[in-house]
Amino acid sequence: MFKHICVVSSVETMTIAKHFSLDLIDFKRQDSITKRYGFNLKKWQLDSSKASSFASLVIHYISLPPEQFGEHFIDDFFQGKLDPNLHPYFQEIKDLRVSAHCLINRQGEITQYVNFNDMAWHAGLSNFEGREKCNEFSIGIELEGSNNHPFTQAQYESLIALTQAIQTAYPAITDERITGHQHISPGRKQDPGQYFAWDYYKQLLIKNRNK
């Protein structure tokens, strides 16, 4: 299940509006992801020069509380309204102000929090190919998950569709420029972790692009 939501202009004014769903099971059709799913990122490129500004895609995982799935807490966290009194762990992160461009939950639903043309605060201290401050030139996608659980097939299917749509709109983001948080912040981060199937993901990207 793929839920495409309305974009927002900034982290401070985030809203979540899931307004349609699409079946991602069939990848056999020959037309593009953007045409196939009505997921056309080009309409969000208010400044066409920004297409070359984003040159990396960073994959993460998140669960709130840790190791628990299916609640609304990730939405609240990325919108800056997480109630710290609802769980002891929330007290530890109450002063953090972070966001990702998108979240893919365990059912494969995609929620967008930040316009792809805007910077999201997802990478922190980071370095990609010698370039620091990855927030300034990367798109961040969070998968609902942890280092102790495999990701779902629905998540991979949605991630493939979303990745290909992003690559269509931002051609500088080649397959070689897709990375994990653990790679740009080694020793500090471990996501998307041991259960993210990089080979499977990259093979699907190539397979579906060639169809």
CB distance 82 to 73 below 8 Å: yes
Angstrom distances, CA of residue 7 to CA of 74, 83, 117: 17, 24, 10
Which candidate in 92, 129, 142, 144 is catalytic?
142
Angstrom distances, CA of residue 69 to CA of 99, 158, 165: 18, 17, 26
Q: How many Å apart are CA 174 and CA 59, to the nearest integer? A: 14
Nearest to 35 by CA among 207, 174, 169: 169
* Beta strand 138-144 pairing with 102-104: parallel
Q: How many Å apart are CA 115 and CA 6, to the nearest integer? A: 9
- In the chain, the amino acid numbered 5 is I
Q: Is 67 a catalytic residue?
A: no
Residues serving a catalytic function are: 142
